[in-house]
Amino acid sequence: MGLLLKPSAWIVRWSQLLEPQATVLDVACGSGRHLQWFAEHGHTVTGIDRDIDQARQRFPGAELVCADMENEPWPLGANGHPRTFGAVIVANYLWRPLMPTVLDCLAPGGVLLYETFASGNEKFGRPARADFLLEPGELLRTCASLQVIAYENGFLDNPARFIQRIAAIRPKNGAGQLVEPSRCVL
């Protein structure tokens, strides 16, 4: 697997939370690095991005949806109800108005694996605008309705960047808790 297709270590680490053969949505899928990784591990994958050419070339077996998520209605679903998935993956992408839709795409028991740039990253390059950088604790607040399994907010080296990332599960019942305790290796 080439460097461009190497999946995020965070997403790989917490992929153990997914049910076997779960459906996976990769929001802003880019080149398809996570699509490929999840498909190789037995999951049905769907990617959405405004430019899907690289993903289509590298992974023609994936369901790919070309859409401008920042300027067009959400294309996955009908009658105002987003299609749901066993997991939603987001890496290196932030569009705050889309966050409620991303969470609505999680089926009960579904896993959210999210990793993107955070405040402080402007010291190292792009993205540098506050519109594209999470504020301290923002991802935790956004995911307050989910069971958080892991969360990090801080600095990473090589390349130097500030990030926030979360692994969380949508509760299976109406009480806001998982029906069974989550068992995952920490």
136 assigned to some structural domain: yes
- Give the range of the structural domain holding residue 128, as residue numbers without chain letter: 23-169
178 assigned to some structural domain: no
Residue type, 114: Y
160 assigned to some structural domain: yes
Q: Rounded distance, CA 16 to CA 43, Å? A: 12
pLDDT digits (tens, 9 = 90+) for 4-28: 568 999 999 999 999 999 999 999 9
149 assigned to some structural domain: yes
pLDDT digits (tens, 9 = 90+) for 81-136: 899 999 999 999 999 999 999 999 999 999 999 999 887 767 777 877 778 887 89
In whole numbers, what is the pLDDT of the chain averaged over residues?
A: 87
SS3 state of residue 95: coil
22 vs 58, more confident: 22
Which residue, chain included where needed, has tokens 């839709």?
101
6 assigned to some structural domain: no
Task: Reply yes or no on whether the pLDDT at 179 is more than 70.
Answer: no
pTM over 0.75: yes
CA proximity to 145, closest of 165, 115, 175, 118: 175
**Residue 77 burial by Cβ neighbours in a 10 Å radius (0-12, 13-18, 19+):** middle
Domain of 155, CATH number, reads 3.40.50.150
Domain count, the chain: 1
Task: Give the Cα-Cα-Cα angle 113, 51, 35 (nearest 5 degrees).
Answer: 35
Task: Give the Cα-Cα-Cα angle 157, 168, 41 (nearest 5 degrees).
Answer: 80
pLDDT at residue 180 in the model: 57
CA proximity to 65, closest of 80, 77, 49: 49
SS3 state of residue 162: strand
Q: Rounded distance, CA 50 to CA 68, Å? A: 5
CA proximity to 113, closest of 2, 7, 5, 3: 7
**Kind and range of the H or E run holding 47:** strand 44-49
91 assigned to some structural domain: yes
143 assigned to some structural domain: yes
